[in-house]
Amino acid sequence: MNVDGTEAAAPERQEPAPAARGPGLPNPAGGGFRDWIALRHPFPAGSLRAVLFDFDHTLSDTVLSFPEMRRKGLEALARFAPVAADCSLPLMEQMAGILASLSSVAAAEAEKAALDAVKEVEIAAARRSALFSFARPVLAALRARGTAAAVITRNCPEAVYAVFPDLDDYCACVLTREHVKHVKPHPEHIGTALERLGCAARQALTVGDHVMDIEAGKRAGTRTAAVLTGDSGLAELAAADPDITAPDAGALLRGLGMWRNP
């Protein structure tokens, strides 16, 4: 199925042809894997007024070690309260539960200690990270066509701007974890961005490499797109049922006709 709702011609090869669009997920074992998009739930791309991007592994080839970040954060919290090292919750959510068990004074001290430890890991990783080559061209293309762009990330602002110092020149809104009370997958993170952009949810597309990006977009009411530039695989992302799946954000915007790679 094409973006405009018409049937796409079947490719001659088993692997996906460039910018092939279909309801299923192509097999990455074949060639030509970098130039497809899989449109699971058709919608008019021309209706989009804003694109909201995750940052790490979506716009940036981040080398951040999440296990190390988690370990450092929990070590700092353990000075204030018992910590379950085998908890399945993401760090920020586990931290919230621990802080809720403390007095307000102790909670403030524990939160600062944990976030300082996490931030140290994030900033060190940012110094070793780089933007994907398509990041600035894609954002510039959106700006030129009058489509607002935003970055929504659970990372800290220091790390984001260390990788992308001129981000504000390309995005109308940048929201890190320090700008909202509830981060992704809570819908507040995306909802706040939509309010600042003056954009209705159904006219926005949330793009990310992790299931929580898709969950956040769905809970906020936006269209959703999964990209394969992070650690999540096809099956994991497909289970979250995004509207679109693509190998990266560049291929996604190219396939939607919103960016032409020179």
pLDDT in tens, 90-113: 787 888 888 888 898 988 898 888
Q: How far is CA 5 from CA 2, 39, 47, 50, 226, in A?
A: 5, 10, 14, 21, 20
Amino acid 43: pLDDT = 80
Looking at residue 221, its pLDDT comes to 97
213/186 Cα distance (integer angstroms) = 10
Amino acid 2: pLDDT:
43
pLDDT at residue 12 tops 90: no
Q: Is the pLDDT of residue 85 over 90?
A: no
* Paired tokens of 5: 């709702």
**Contact residues for 8 (Cβ-Cβ < 8 A; gap 6+):** 1, 2, 20, 21, 22
Yes or no: say if 161 and 119 are a contact pair by the CB < 8 Å rule. no
Mean pLDDT of 190-211: 97
What pLDDT sits at residue 106? 87
Q: What residue ranges define each of the domains in the chain, with the CATH number in brackets?
A: 33-62+130-255 (3.40.50.1000), 66-126 (no CATH)
Query: Among 126, 107, 122, 116, which Cα is nearest to 75's?
Result: 116
The percentage of residues in the chain with a pLDDT greater than 70, rounded to a whole number, is 85
Residues 16-36 pLDDT 10s: 333 333 333 444 333 344 557
Provide the percentage of residues in the chain whose pLDDT is more than 90: 55
